[in-house]
């Protein structure tokens, strides 16, 4: 989340209020394929997508504050696969699989708003990538084999590893709070100290964790379920106590938070994907917008950005308390 608030949202109590509905920032003749993001930096909203063959990716952006609807600016493209995207400040971080003949070399790349970019050395084999305000977190195999498969912490400026925890069952989702790192895996949510990550504690038992976020004193996790069971959203204290399932159904494995303690996720309702939110520890859901959602979404400085196949890239002011 950035600090530039040059376009504060209107004071809305509901998306139904006048001037509080979704604004289309960009529409497209064809439905975008393999969408990654969007994410917001200081001045732009970025997202990625693939061509029809899903073997070539493009990274595009629009001004974060909107204005006249226009064509997105393509800032990068390459053969291969764009799997994950995140942001810290004015930088975008991408988990890539770069095509190279019959193989696909994985890497993590940082790209700044001025177009400069660097890639991590050693081809980290990432299967999931997350960003906080100060760290790049990824799950996968260490390129040099020193720490094996597990959770890795990377300095966002140098893209060099600063900590790692071996975990052969690590899966998806990671975040940090008060010197600890939390991540998801087969069997639930784990926690380790960033200062001495020699092992980890099992905090919240789940079948298979799809994503993990922390807001205030609450840990929120997406459980993919097991053997065809419906996905669920779980809330617990940071130590795993007072755990409760607050939502269940066809819920996509992506969680987002804002500075006011709300947690956002998307779920299938009446053949449309609705973006909803709740404030832990309760499970009272507020629906914000629905449609043919592709990719993830981002909540940034009072706005929600998302790409819907039936609308385009939209921006929605978040309702006030």
Cα–Cα distance list, 34 to 54, 83, 103, 219, 298 (Å): 7, 9, 20, 29, 17
Q: What whole-number distance in Å separates Cα of residue 219 and Cα of residue 252?
A: 18
- For residue 181, the model assigns a pLDDT of 96
Strand order in the sheet with 23-26: 23-26, 312-317, 303-308, 293-300
pLDDT in tens, the chain (321 residues): 444 567 888 888 887 787 788 888 988 888 888 899 999 999 999 999 999 888 899 999 999 887 666 689 999 999 989 989 999 999 999 998 876 655 567 789 999 999 999 988 666 677 789 999 999 999 987 654 555 689 999 999 999 988 889 999 999 999 999 999 999 999 999 999 988 878 899 999 999 999 999 999 999 999 998 765 679 999 999 999 999 999 999 999 999 999 999 999 999 988 899 999 999 998 899 999 999 999 999 999 999 999 999 889 999 999 986
- Looking from the CA of 303 toward its CB, the CA atoms found within 13 Å total 29
Q: What is the pTM of this model?
A: 0.91
Residue 313: which of 321, 298, 58 has the closest Cα?
A: 298
Q: What does the buried/exposed string (b/e) look like for 134-147 if buried means 16 or more CB atoms within 10 Å of the residue's CB?
A: ebbbbbbbbbeeeb
Q: What residues pair up with 209 in beta bridges, in sequence order?
A: 223
Q: Judge contact between 107 and 114, C-beta under 8 A.
A: no
- For residue 1, the model assigns a pLDDT of 43
Instruction: Concatenate the DSSP letters of all residues of 243-295 into one string.
Output: -EEEEEESB-S--EE-TTS-EEEEEEETTEEEEEEE-TT----EEEEEE-EEE
- For residue 100, the model assigns a pLDDT of 64
114: left (phi over 0), alpha (psi -120 to 50) or beta: alpha
């Amino acid at each position: 989340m950035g600090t530039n608030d040059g376009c504060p949202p209107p004071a809305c109590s509901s998306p139904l209020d006048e001037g509080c509905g979704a604004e289309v920032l960009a529409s497209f003749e064809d439905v975008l394929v393999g969408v990654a993001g969007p994410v917001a930096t200081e001045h732009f909203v970025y997202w990625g997508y693939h061509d029809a063959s899903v073997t070539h990716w493009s990274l595009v952006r629009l001004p974060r504050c909107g204005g006249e609807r226009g064509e997105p600016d393509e800032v990068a493209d390459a053969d291969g696969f764009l799997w994950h995207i995140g942001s810290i400040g004015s930088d975008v971080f991408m988990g890539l699989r770069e095509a190279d003949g019959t193989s696909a070399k994985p890497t993590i790349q940082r790209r700044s708003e001025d177009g400069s970019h660097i890639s991590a050395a050693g081809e980290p084999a990432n299967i999931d990538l997350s960003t906080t305000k100060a760290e790049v977190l990824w799950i996968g195999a260490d390129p040099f084999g020193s720490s094996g498969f597990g959770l890795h912490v990377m300095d966002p400026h140098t893209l060099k590893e600063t900590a790692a925890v071996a975990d052969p069952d690590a899966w998806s989702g990671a975040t940090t709070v008060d010197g600890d790192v939390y991540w998801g895996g087969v069997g639930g949510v784990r926690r380790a100290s960033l200062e001495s990550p020699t092992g980890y504690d099992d905090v919240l038992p789940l079948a298979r964790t799809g994503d993990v976020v922390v807001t205030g004193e609450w840990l929120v996790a997406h459980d993919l379920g097991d053997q065809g069971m419906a996905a669920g959203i779980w809330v617990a204290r940071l130590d795993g106590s007072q755990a409760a399932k607050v939502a269940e159904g066809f819920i996509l494995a992506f969680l987002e938070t804002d500075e006011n303690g709300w947690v956002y996720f998307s779920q299938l309702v009446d053949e449309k994907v609705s973006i909803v939110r709740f404030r832990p520890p309760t499970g009272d859901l507020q629906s914000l917008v629905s449609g043919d959602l592709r990719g993830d979404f981002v909540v940034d400085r009072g706005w929600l950005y998302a790409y819907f196949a039936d609308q385009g890239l939209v921006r929605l002011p978040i309702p006030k308390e």
